[in-house]
Structure 1
Amino acid sequence: MQPFIFDALPTRVVFGSGTLSQLKAEATRLGTTRALILTTPNQATTGMQVGEALGDLFGAVFSGAVMHTPTHVTEEALVALRQTGADLVVSIGGGSTIGLGKALALRTGVNQLVIPTTYAGSEMTPILGQTDDGLKTTVRNLAVLPETVIYDVDLTMSLPTALSATSGINAIAHAVEALYAKDRNPIISMIAEEGIRSLATSLPSIRAKSYDQDARKRALYGAWLCGYCLGSVGMALHHKLCHTLGGSFGLPHSETHTVILPHAVAYNSQAAPEAMSAISRAIGASDAANGLYDLISGLGADQALSLIGMPEDGIERAADIAVASPYWNPRPIEREALRDLIARAYVGKRPSL
């Protein structure tokens, strides 16, 4: 075994069913005097319900979170934070809301308590992706790592099956890239394979029966593990492409990850054989890239960038942006190969090995 370095992330996790009832106790544990609730516009009512659970610690709800964390929305939330005098932000929802909480923490140092309602996994990472003038950039800083995460399976029971699928594949992507990350280690690789397996077995069950509580538990557990992987080691081609496509063309986050993942895996297949073997074991397939493509197909998710809002004339631009400042990747980033990858993903073809 090769020497390695493992840094344990210090987030406190409360996992189970009905765990939202522990919200006020967890907020008090962080020394909270006033909390600002963050939600998307569609979850404003849920935000008020969470506020009621906080009792006298509740300050206000800011319901303006949107995907890709645009900086102008963060500026609006900063005003609400200062007006409320909050020393805690409670982010309930998926990656959009969690990203906004992280952006506030980066700028002010405010504590974060996160209540995920999807499988995005952002709550377990010290990574913030934010967009300014159509360009999405990422920051890795422990200052944006939430102090506490409350996983309540009950809050995911009504997550639509379509969103469950893409959100779950987004989580799988975190673990996939952890398996071939430059700074990978055997601990994270073990967690990554278990996370992929948990989601790959539970997502089809959720599609067949949305209110299958056991499947929902396994999916949320898998999302936690996959998110932990993303927070612990570096990212590579897949995440660079998704950040480029999402930030530059306004594509939906989890849907973009779902389309790109099999193609990014195929691109790296020859350069990362051990990772491919682990992925294949976890999903029960003979080939990692095509196995992921088939898994996604079975979930009924869109598999073409053209179906989620990508303009055809954006293929060349996306390739240019992705190679301008590439992440480390096990296979060198080649502009024409990358362009072909994006073109195949645009029409939804099978990944090319």
Structure 2
Amino acid sequence: MTDAFAFNLLAFGRLLRRAGLPVGTGESLAAAEALSLVEIGDREQVREALRAVMVRRREHFEIFDHAFALFWRDPEAGRHAAAMGLLEGRPPTEERAPPASRRVAEALKQPRPPPEQPPEPPPERQDVTFSVSERERLQTMDFESMDAAQIAEAKREIRRLVLPLDARPTRRFRPDPAGPRTDLRATIRASLRDGGEILGLARRRRVTRPPPLVALCDISGSMARYAQVLLHFLHAVTNDRDRVHSFLFGTRLTNVTRQLRYRDAEVAFEMVSHIVPDWSGGTRIGESLELFNRLWARRVLGQGAVVLLITDGLDREGAKGLADATDRLRRSCRRLIWLNPLLRWSGFQPKSQGIRAMLPHVDEFRPVHNLASLRTLVEALSTEAPRRRLGREAA
């Protein structure tokens, strides 16, 4: 391997790191060793070898492929991407390009400058005039249109969210001198120590605790971008409170509760990536909900559980079995909240068969596409749920 090729390989690793992939010195050394075992002149072998040692998570494959195609074809292509788009008559909007290619283009256009060691400057007053505005803009920005830096900032904001669920009364009681109920059994036991004479009344109070929270998150191709961000929300909630159960579904259902309990987010998501085989694939919502109802509902939906159903409702099987599965799920929990990113559109209409089949059987129908919608969800979960009406009414 020539010195120029080794230099380009290190530059390619820095490009992947700027695009958001966890690529360090170890991955770069492994890439150099992998290239010594393949034919350098075969582009496909080089791409597969580099991807095998530099990418660890399935959701990073698309970003790597875009970066490889752009960098090894023309390292200067990113600097001219905007000008070429204008020459072709395309407006420079963020929504036109896929998220992976947009992140790679941003990483190419903004190379990291070499580190410098300037002399320590005198203390200066910092201008933070626009810091609040940028933070407010981030609150209302769609996850789909965020770049790598904005996604990282959104994840930090999500970790600071607190989810206080309204406490519900249980069947258990605890001793309380100021409790509203008289504990006859404890009173008689205490009187035995005084020869059977009752000198005071023992009192008790009913124990209250937040209900279990169950999240069913769609990880199909149409939901992949949102699922990546919402997994950080589920990880933060899982590590903030007890009795949180998380399930991912695409073409099959996977319980990731144990994996999300790891405090380190990177370790947790690495464990999730190993057990979820259908990320960014198709969607079988009805089949996944039916499997959850059959295998997990009795285990996790007790004591007034709250269920978050996170999906866009676009099922590859149409509405087959979807209405019955959603209705049974609703009857098994105290509150079923459907979070749908399609509600970000002001003119949203439930036209697909899956959405029309599910909508009459949920308690609440909410958007989940930015930080503001997540904060609204947290506020809604901290208040008491409205009383249900009998029958199958539309939400």
TM-score under structure 2 length normalisation: 0.25
Larger radius of gyration: 2
Highest RCO, 1 vs 2 (Cα 8 Å, sep ≥ 6): 1
What TM-score, normalized by structure 1, do the two folds share? Answer: 0.27
Larger helix proportion of the pair: 1
